[in-house]
């Protein structure tokens, strides 16, 4: 994968995704959350169809994605979830860009509001750098330590 080509970013509601876009998003999520993290769980949780999906494509491949969850679906607040970057692009800044673009998109869609996430514990400092703060005890989700975090 070449990183000299600019990534193309898109924010699209589930209903407007093409079958290829949806397939590529789900493939990346499966590569990261199921295969790479060796975690057997059902990624398709019934929420995707109510969400906006933010993703970056490069060389006809999805290299980063997240979903913007409306308020009331996962939490009272809007949420950002299923944050994933392709392994071969890590360290190139796409993860940071993805989180910042996800925050911006959430605020654009739902106004100036708090944003809640369920974060893997080892990424706590990463999310703190975007203004998130831990608001729960550590809990196990599919064999991985998580915490709830809130950005006021």
| 148 within domain boundaries | no
Which range marks the domain in which residue 55 is found?
Answer: 8-116
| 108 within domain boundaries | yes
Q: What percentage of the chain has pLDDT greater than the value 90?
A: 82
Q: How many domains does the chain have?
A: 1
Segment 84-116, tens digit of pLDDT: 999 999 889 999 999 999 999 999 999 999 999
pTM (2 d.p.): 0.92
| 1 within domain boundaries | no
| 100 within domain boundaries | yes
Query: Which CATH number belongs to the domain containing residue 27 in this structure?
Result: 3.40.630.30
HEC sequence for 9-51:
EEEEEHHHCCHHHHHHHHHHHHHHHHHHCCCCCCCCCCCHHHC
Task: Return the closest-CA partner of residue 64 out of 141, 8, 117.
Answer: 8
| 151 within domain boundaries | no
Tell me if residue 128 falls in helix, strand or coil: helix
């Amino acid at each position: 994968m070449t990183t000299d080509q600019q990534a193309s970013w898109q924010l699209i509601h589930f209903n407007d995704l093409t079958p290829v876009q949806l397939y590529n998003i789900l493939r990346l999520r499966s590569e990261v959350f199921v295969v790479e993290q060796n975690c057997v769980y059902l990624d398709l949780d019934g929420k995707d169809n109510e969400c906006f999906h933010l993703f970056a494509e490069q060389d006809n491949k999805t290299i980063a994605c997240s979903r913007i969850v409306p308020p009331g679906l996962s939490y009272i607040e809007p949420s950002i979830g299923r944050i994933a970057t392709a392994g071969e692009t890590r360290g190139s800044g796409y993860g940071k860009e993805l989180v910042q673009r996800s925050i911006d998109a959430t605020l654009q869609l739902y106004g100036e509001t708090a944003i809640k996430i369920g974060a893997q514990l080892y990424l706590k400092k990463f999310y703190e750098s975007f203004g998130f703060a831990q608001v729960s005890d550590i809990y196990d989700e599919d064999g991985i330590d998580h915490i709830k975090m809130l950005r006021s």
